[in-house]
Each structure stands twice: as structure tokens, then as C-alpha cells.
Chain A
């Protein structure tokens, strides 16, 4: 029983290992390896759906908890894996012989999303986080020939290692206070204590450690450089997968361990949220490189998600958070896929080179425009409803100032999304040749587009699932 419960994770990790071995044993079977990865993701998601139950169970003596929250991320994980694998498929910047490794690393990294979501014990969190980090470091530096890639990888590595150290220190303090590393007993030990200086230190260290992963200000500095330097499929993974994983673990740890002191740290998280979204939005204005712009926008969206963390004590807050994350993952994923499709053809990431895209690639231009509208928060798209829920949660918790700042930021974000739309639609194209994108990319883009619309217009089924699951949510 215990073994079967983790079947989805075994499938993914097993597939990752198989892909790696396959590459060692039979070279140049790139497509087979890719297929293994995609199929494994699909099977894992299917198995997860079958394993969904409203009861929460723990496995490995409390190391991993399988509750509604984990079930949600067990769908995000494979979804992200599929998107990134499709983005990375036949990536021309990676030599053919090394692509199977590339795919296997992506799959393993995506698996950590669900492991981190389920991790209910500090050492499991740490190990899973390290797995995510190390695969990410390697992925960022994968194009050995590119100087940018190497620089980005080194920056990422140095920042990453420092932040993991900080996190571990925070964990050790928690262990010192409570004598256990399991989240629920930790919570019990801290319950009804107000935040003593020691607990504050632990809180801040843990927040900082996770904050690095989710690009929370002021730990966001590595973001734009690493996003720009890494190959775009890897950037996509960092923007959606790594961020989802970071939030998955942040939410569980914060709400479980420090849940009873929420009223004391709400303001701090709120301030960091406001800082993050403002920095992200303001710095995104005036960016000329679309990858860098998307990196900053990703920071800003982390800020909106943190609004949900600050207001997350209610059902509205948590479902809003998960809903927004879902929308964000697929919309940003779709946007990056579109950027990959276009940039591979025109060989540039400069926004100016997207001029007249609506003539050269009408479907791609329309898709990107719709993704951006969702990210701004225009109905009837998923991004709007997500913001509605998050801002609603903030108002419900009487964090009016935070809702106000978030709303102002949404308007500011128009300043960098719309210029791209304008460039694509209103400006004439320099060359008139049509852009033909690979079918698998277009298929993935259209799938995410449909999802963005469907989740925006019919959110109820999803909300039912989430609130049904939330009976056993981290609290």
C-alpha cells in the first residue's frame, strides 16, 4: 500500500533514469527518449488521478503526505514536464548527442514539483530541493559552448548554494526548538507560542531560502540574468516549474509550521509581496529583450502569488493561490513556447524583431497576445479569475492596502505587455516571409490557449476539486 501510493513519482523518476540509461546504451535515439519522457508524464498524471482520494495519507513514516494539496501538484508536475519537454524537443542549441540527457534532466526536475508539494518533513524537503537545484544548475549550463549559459549557470549556482545553506540553517534552528523535523509535530511544538526572536530568525531564514527559488524580492537578483542566459526551454522551466515547486513547498511549510503565528508574519509577507510585484513590474518596463521581460514579469507574478500567501488562511485564499498558480504555469508556459517558436525562426529575442508578427504568424501572434492579456488580468481569461480570487482573499482578510498595490501593479504591467502586442499587431513586418513553427510547439501552444480560456470561463469544476481537496489541506 505504501509503495503504490507513490507510484506517480516512481514512474517519473524511473522514466528519468531509463532515459538517462537509454542514452548511455543506445546513442542518437533522441526521439525515443523524448517519447519515454512524454509517455511517462501522461501515465503518471493518469495514475495520480486514480489515486486521488479525499483522505490524506502519509508514507515513509511521515516524510511525504498525500493530501488534496499534493494531488493538485501531481497534475502540475507532469503538465509542466510535458510543456518543457515539448519546448526542449529538438532544441537546435543543444547538440543532438546530448539531447537525451537534457530531456531526462528536465523530467527529473519536473518530478521534484510534486515531491516538494508532498514533503512533510524537513530533510525530505531539503533533499528534493537539492535535486531540483542541481538539475536546474546543470540545465542552465547545458550549452557548454555558450559563454552566456556558463555565466548564468555559475551565477545561479552561487546564489543557489548560498540560499540552500541559509535554508538549512533555518531548518536546523527549527529542529533545535522542536527536536523533530516532521512538519506537523513542528507545528505543534511552535503552536501557541508567539514569535520569539529565535522563531523569527528561523522564519526569516526559511522564507529567504524559499524566497530565492520563487524570485521573491530581495532575493530575485539572479533571476533576469539567469533567465536570459539559459536556453529558452530551461528558462521556461525555471519560470514555471521551479517557481511552482518553490511555491508548493513554501506554502506547505509556512502554513503548517508557522500557521499559528500567521497574524504576526502576515504584514512582513505582505510587504515582501508588494516589493516583489512592484520591482518585477517596474523593471520589466522598457525591456527590449523578450526573455528578460518575461523574467521580470515572472518576478511580478510571484509577487501576486505572495498576496495569496499573505491572505491564505481562508479557503478563498488557498484556492485562489492554487488557481492562480495553475493559470500562471500554463499561460506563462504557453507564452514561452510561443517565444521559442518565433525566436527559433527569426533567430532573435529582441522585441523589435517581433514587428508585424501578426502578418507572418497570425496564430502565434494571437496566442501570445491572449497569453499577455491573461497575465494582465483581462476577463474572460484564467489570469483574470485568478487575480479576482487573490485580490478577493486579500480584501476578505482586510489587507486593503495590499489589494490596492496589487491592482496598481496590474495596471503598470500593461506598460510592458501591451508594447509587445503593439509591436506584433500594429507595426509592419520587416520581412514578409511567413513563420512556420514546428507542429508540436503549435499544438502545445494551442492546448495551453484553450486551457487559459476554459479555466477562465468555467472555473467552477476546478474550484470544486480544489475545495474538495482542501479538507485535507496543509493547515
Chain B
């Protein structure tokens, strides 16, 4: 691979951020254009990489490796496979759309876009990193820009939400740091290469140390996903963040947690994974049901969607738990669950991303997120109504739209492994349908609130921000093979390697 396409995708946002920092702050239009251009080109590069991705191969592609700190076995090693590439594509897509939507930001424009691009680099880096040190560095790099994005451009309780987000994530990260160091010293020869460590599987027989390592990584990832009971930072952060911030938070940052389970915990600690799989499944089910029930109780539109994220990520975690579990079910069942989980991650990203964008649209017009203050908007602003309906139905899992296939696959794959938990999760499906339909009714149907009698329709910028996601929802609903063809070989590889060690 002569052209380092992954490094380009990774560092182009950084170059963009530096460029923006050099532009004088008055030239706001130029800054917006540069940001849009950079994220756009990054997306194009990602699409280019997609076309060149050898479908059917489960291993790492486009691998680049440079020795970075040889004294301590640290390498700049990046690569993508069927697990990480969809997520990188998701990041690129949501970044462009968020930057487009962020044309609405009027205050401290320069800092906003510089931080946004820095954040993009951090997120993409997490998905690409094949070296634990590199993984950690990118994981933390994403922390600071998000703190500022929430803290400066956020809502009424932005500072509280920002510091809560920062601290929760940092605590998890620090636990992960200790686990990483322990792994380094546990390998012979000392290495931080994820693939090499996975091949060695240190501490496989030492269940005490494995358990602690698992918990160290688990804390970091469970906080990010977020899994009950570590989810309490999410409602505050999602609600108080500016619209584009919420899109990125829900669309990408949460996926980093789930990704960590699959990239690090599953291959490196298969024994501990199997031991703790039931616990993860239980927490997943609680997240599903609790998340849905709390959503049902919300009157703040944004908070409702935030809690629905807890619910949707719960499905993904159920699928992941099933993949980790020790079971007599054949590998194909686990593959079903795991493919479903990865697909769910992507689907949730586009669906919830669209929903948050739509929240932003309505908030800009009504200056409230109170669901009882809306009504009859389907007649008044039908384009908005159409998009909201599309995203709402996708979120509740209507067949034909993206959300259905992934949830269905997860249930199909988890039922033989965790029958009771799968059945309990179905409660979540019903409740989700309830609150989404109710929400759509409150916003779109019924009498038009006189205050909103003159609400303008979505403008071009807003439509262009949401439309691609709508297209994706339909496309993936009808033809999920687009993604599944890429994820399945990697899923099979992960699972067969896991089974081989049992």
C-alpha cells in the first residue's frame, strides 16, 4: 500500500485544525469552508478506501507501522478491518454533516471548528490504532475538545455536564492505563501491539489478574458505551452539548466503548470475557429496559433521545455479551449476534445522529425542547415531519429501515445463548415503540401550537445535514449486506480465534 491512506484520513483533520488556528478569527466564513472542506475530503478518502477494501478478508487492511518509541515497544501502528472500518466511515460521515450543521454557530467560530477537527482525529485514531499506547493516546485526545465543546457552546448546565463527562471518562481511562501497563509487562517480549498481545493471551490461566485486567478495561469502556450504572454522565452531556456535539457524542463516542470491548477485551482476555459475559448481558438488559422506560417518562425531547441511546447501545452490548459467552451454541449463532451488534452500532449512529440534528432544527425555531409545547408540525413543516418520522420509525425498529435488521439479528443470535435476557429485552422494544410513537404524535400531530404558527421549514443547510442519514437508513434497511459483507469475515475471524483458545 504505497499511499498511506489511513494516515491521511487520520491526520487531515489535524492539518485542518492547525490551518483554522492560523486563520484570523474574523474570517468566519473561510473557517467554516475550510472545516467543511477538510471533513468532506476526509469522507471522500474514506469512501475511496472503502472501494479498495478487500471484501471477504477478515484481517487488518492498509496496515501502517512505524516504530515510535522503541525503548518501550510503542509503535505507530494503524489498520482497519470489518469491525473498525464501518465505524470510521460513520465518523467521517457524521463529522461532515455536523460541520455542515454547525454553520449555525456564531460565537467563537474559530475555536469551535478547530476543536471539532481535533476531536475527529481523536475518534478516528481510536478506531484505527493497533497499538495499546496509541489507542490510549487517541482515546484521551478526544476528551479535551469534547469538554470544551460542551462547556463553551452548550446549554444551560453546560459546565456541570462538561466536567461530569470529563471526570467520568478520565476515571475509566486511568483504570485502562493501569491495565495496559500490566499487559505490557505480562507479555514476553514486552509489547503493546494489540494483535501480538491477542496472539499471546497473557494471564490466560491466571483468573485473578485476568479478572482485574478485564475490570480495568471494562470500567473505561462501560462508562463510554454507556452501560448501566455508569451511564449517568450521558443525559447531562447529550442534553447540554450543542447539537453537533450531541450528534458526535451519540453517534461516534459511544461506539468507541463498544469497539473497545470487541477489539481489546474479547481477543486478549477471552477467559475473563466468558466469565463476565453474563454480567455484561444483565447490565445490557437493564440498560435496554431502564433506558426505554426513562425515555418514556421524559418531556425534554433531547433527554428522551439521550436515554434512548442508552437503550439502543444496550442491544449492541447484548449482542457483544452473547459473542463473549461460553456456550454450546454454534459459532454461526454468535456470528449472528456479533454482526448484528456491529450493524447496530452503525445504525444507531446514523439514526440518533439524525434525531439529534432534528432536535436542533426544532430547538432553533421553538427555543424549547418541551415535547408538550409542540403539535401539528407535520402540516406546518412537512419536510421536517417527514425526516422525523423516518428517523423515529428507524429508531423503533420498523422493518425496511436500518434499525430493524440489526436488532433482529441480535435477538436471533442472543436467544439461544441468553434466552431469558433476550426475552426481557423485547420489553425494551415495545417501550421504545411506545415513546417514539408518542413523541411523534406530540410533535407532528394534533393541534398546531399557536406560537409555532410561523415556523419556517428546514432550510437547505439543515436538509443537507439530515438527508444523507435518511438515505442511509433506507439503504441499510433494505440492503444491509453493504455493511454485513464487510463485517462478517472479521466477525468470523474474531470468533474462530476465540473458540480456538477454549
Q: Which residues of A contact B (CB under 8 A)?
A: 316, 319, 373, 378-380, 384, 388-389, 391-392, 395-396, 400, 403-404, 407-408, 410-411, 414, 418, 422, 425-426, 459-460, 463-464, 467
Contacts and interface: CB of A to CB of B under 8 A. Distances in A.
B178 A395 contact: yes
Given A407-B174, A425-B148, A460-B69, A379 B140 contact: yes
B182 interface: yes
A313 B133 CA distance: 24
A418 B143 contact: no
Given A380-B137, A395-B185, A418-B166, 17 more contacts: A316-B72, A378-B141, A378-B144, A388-B177, A392-B72, A392-B184, A395-B181, A395-B182, A407-B175, A408-B174, A410-B174, A411-B170, A414-B166, A422-B163, A460-B68, A463-B71, A464-B71
Interface string B147-190: 01001100000110001001100110011011001101100000
A414 B182 CA distance: 24
A418 B144 CA distance: 11
Contacts, number: 71
Nearest to A370: B144
11 contacts: A378-B140, A379-B136, A379-B141, A384-B140, A388-B133, A392-B185, A396-B185, A408-B174, A411-B171, A426-B159, A459-B69
A395 B170 CA distance: 20
A323 to B, nearest CB: 10
Contacts of A388: 133, 177, 181
Given A460-B71, A467-B71, A411 B178 contact: no
Contacts of B456: none
Contacts of A400: 178, 182
A223 to B, nearest CB: 26
B450 interface: no
Contacts of B143: 378
Interface in B49-85: 68-72
A190 B175 CA distance: 40
Determine chain B's interface SS by DSSP, over half rule. helix
Contact of A426 (B140, B144, B151): B151
3 nearest A-B residue pairs (beta carbon): A379-B137, A407-B174, A463-B71
Given A392-B72, A411-B167, A460-B71, A373 B159 contact: no
A459 B133 CA distance: 13
Contacts of A425: 148, 151-152
A467 B71 CA distance: 9
A460 B152 CA distance: 36
B181 A392 contact: yes
Contacts of B68: 460
B278 to A, nearest CB: 27
A316 B73 CA distance: 12
Contacts of B158: 426
A225 B185 CA distance: 42
A467 B69 CA distance: 13
Nearest to A396: B185
Interface of B: 68-72, 133, 136-137, 140-141, 143-144, 148, 151-152, 158-159, 163, 166-167, 170-171, 174-175, 177-178, 181-182, 184-185
A460 B70 CA distance: 7
A388 B136 CA distance: 11
A464 B72 CA distance: 11
Most chain A beta-carbon neighbours within 10 Å: one of B68, B137, B151: B137
Contacts of A378: 140-141, 143-144
Contact of B152 (A316, A403, A411, A426): A426
A418 B163 contact: yes
A388 B176 CA distance: 12
Nearest to A378: B140
A453 to B, nearest CB: 12
Contacts of B136: 379
Contacts of B178: 391, 395, 400, 403-404, 407
Contact of A373 (B133, B144, B152, B171): B144
B366 to A, nearest CB: 26
A199 B71 CA distance: 36
A414 B72 CA distance: 27
B71 A414 contact: no
Contacts of A391: 177-178, 181
Nearest to A395: B181
B38 to A, nearest CB: 20
A140 B71 CA distance: 41
A391 B144 CA distance: 22
A281 B184 CA distance: 28
Contacts of A459: 69
Nearest to B68: A460
Most chain B beta-carbon neighbours within 10 Å: one of A384, A388, A464: A388
Contacts of A316: 72
A389 to B, nearest CB: 8
Nearest to B170: A411
Given A373-B144, A464-B71, A414 B159 contact: no
B140 to A, nearest CB: 5
Contacts of B70: 460
Contacts of B167: 411, 414
B159 A411 contact: no
Contacts of A396: 185
A411 B140 contact: no
Most chain B beta-carbon neighbours within 10 Å: one of A379, A380, A460: A379
A388 B159 CA distance: 29
A193 to B, nearest CB: 31
Nearest to B167: A414
A5 B272 CA distance: 58
Contacts of B137: 379-380, 384
B333 to A, nearest CB: 39
B382 to A, nearest CB: 39
A316 B143 CA distance: 28
A410 B167 CA distance: 11
B361 to A, nearest CB: 26
A58 to B, nearest CB: 28
Contacts of B152: 425-426
Contacts of A373: 144
Nearest to A408: B174
A339 to B, nearest CB: 21
A422 B159 contact: yes
Most chain A beta-carbon neighbours within 10 Å: one of B71, B141, B158, B175: B71
A153 to B, nearest CB: 38
B279 to A, nearest CB: 22
Contacts of B175: 407
A288 to B, nearest CB: 18
A426 B161 CA distance: 13
Most chain A beta-carbon neighbours within 10 Å: one of B68, B140, B174, B182: B174
A408 B172 CA distance: 11
A373 B148 CA distance: 13
A306 B167 CA distance: 25
A256 B247 CA distance: 57
Contacts of B141: 378-380
A371 to B, nearest CB: 13
Nearest to B67: A460
B151 A414 contact: no
Contacts of B185: 392, 395-396
Contacts of B148: 425
Nearest to B139: A379
B174 A411 contact: yes
A247 B76 CA distance: 33
Contact of B170 (A380, A414, A422, A467): A414
A395 B185 CA distance: 8
